[in-house]
Structure 1
């Protein structure tokens, strides 16, 4: 089973090709604005002459623009090659890539005065939410605080915490998660925790019609 995974939900462009639990190719680059331009070439380079069985895309949370770029490309690519397409969220991919610890708080970069977080306790996931510095201080000051992991851990600078790291990240963690448990993948729908940074008034929308 060959899996092509795409991750542009964070501020990077990441593509991985796996077969039966082993990585065949991987390409990743930090990028805030060029994901749409980089992604087609990354996919071409990583795929080579391989035939793909499954296409997986990161549905978020993360960068609003990045999520849309990945989903739009994945849907068009899957349709063109008649591939089954599924989505996996950032929290689940990070959690599974860490071999599912008993109590961990996954933090995803939000690029604001908060961070996206979801806690997993004994295999049960809590509600994903936007966490402020104050909320995180309270969580980590508890008698038995969770481990922490993810792209948003830097938000904890100055606090006391125990971080764990995964061997896999970006598109690698998506492919790894799907290989370990395909049932964790779902319909490729965008996963937003808050509204996009840019909104349009009804007046401006009406004037453009």
Structure 2
């Protein structure tokens, strides 16, 4: 079976085709970008499918990055993945960015717990902690620098993610993992294949938003006319 993995949660459009039977990537297509995910995602996907000599009917599942990250990018990726899932009648698996970065970090530092910390803006850090076997120790949350440091002091983990240097600067003997805003697209595919093997009928993926959107709806108060 082949699956398609896509990631638009960070500053890129990325897609890859993964062979579940061979446990390897068949193709990958990545375009760096800050905006314009909706306009470029299909072209990136088409490129990945073409390089893998694969077409949509050959796909048995879709994997999508669920965030945290760009609100618009996450929405684009999820909408596209859900559309493919409905059209192809295949399962859609959501993998969050924090977990994917932790997976790469654990591969570089086996046997160690991992805390992934991403810059969330407005002084927030989006963080989660994982045990040596990948189990969730602290669920994803929007935290202050002080709160992330408290976690790190308790766990003595490997620190990863864009906010990891900021956290490690306040600690002694901290170990740094990958300092990236997201994981390699192949990591999402690998985790998606693993999740599908354990649950062939996964729940519908939901976005992982850890802070409120910048734009807020306006509220209007209408005065009541006296009769």
Q: TM-score, normalised by structure 2?
A: 0.77
Residues 85-164 of structure 1 mapped to structure 2, 5 A cutoff = 85-97=92-104, 98-99=106-107, 101-122=111-132, 123-140=135-152, 142=153, 145-156=156-167, 158-160=169-171, 161-164=174-177
CA displacement at 1:89 relative to structure 2:
1.4
Task: Give 5+ residue unaligned stretches, structure 1.
Answer: 205-209
CA displacement at 1:25 relative to structure 2:
0.8
- Is the partner of 1:47 in helix, strand or coil? helix
Residue 12 of structure 1 corresponds to 12
Give the distance between the partners of 1:124 and 1:77, measured in 2 at CA: 29
Q: TM-score, normalised by structure 1?
A: 0.83
Number of equivalent positions: 202
User: In 2, are the aligned partners of 1:16 and 1:172 still within 8 Å (CA)?
Assistant: yes
Give the distance between the partners of 2:154 and 2:77, measured in 1 at CA: 40
User: In 1, are the aligned partners of 2:97 and 2:183 still within 8 Å (CA)?
Assistant: no
Quick one: structure 1 residues 175 and 10, their matched pair in 2 at CA, closer, same or farther if it must change by over 3 Å? same
Give the distance between the partners of 1:58 and 1:143, measured in 2 at CA: 29
| C-alpha RMSD of the superposition | 2.7
CA displacement at 1:143 relative to structure 2:
6.6
Residue 207 of structure 1 corresponds to none
Give the distance between the partners of 1:26 and 1:191, measured in 2 at CA: 24
Quick one: structure 1 residues 195 and 43, their matched pair in 2 at CA, closer, same or farther if it must change by over 3 Å? same
Residue 206 of structure 2 corresponds to 189
CA displacement at 1:181 relative to structure 2:
3.6
Give the distance between the partners of 2:159 and 2:30, measured in 1 at CA: 24
- Is the partner of 2:176 in helix, strand or coil? coil
CA displacement at 1:126 relative to structure 2:
1.4
Deviation per residue, 1:73-108 (Å, 9 max, x gap): 112223233332221111222233434754110123
Task: Give 5+ residue unaligned stretches, structure 2.
Answer: 222-227
Quick one: structure 1 residues 77 and 165, their matched pair in 2 at CA, closer, same or farther if it must change by over 3 Å? same
Give the distance between the partners of 2:203 and 2:83, measured in 1 at CA: 17
CA displacement at 1:5 relative to structure 2:
0.3
Quick one: structure 1 residues 62 and 155, their matched pair in 2 at CA, closer, same or farther if it must change by over 3 Å? farther
Give the distance between the partners of 1:15 and 1:23, measured in 2 at CA: 11
Which structure's CA Rg is the greater one? 2
Give the distance between the partners of 1:54 and 1:94, measured in 2 at CA: 22
Give the distance between the partners of 1:74 and 1:85, measured in 2 at CA: 7
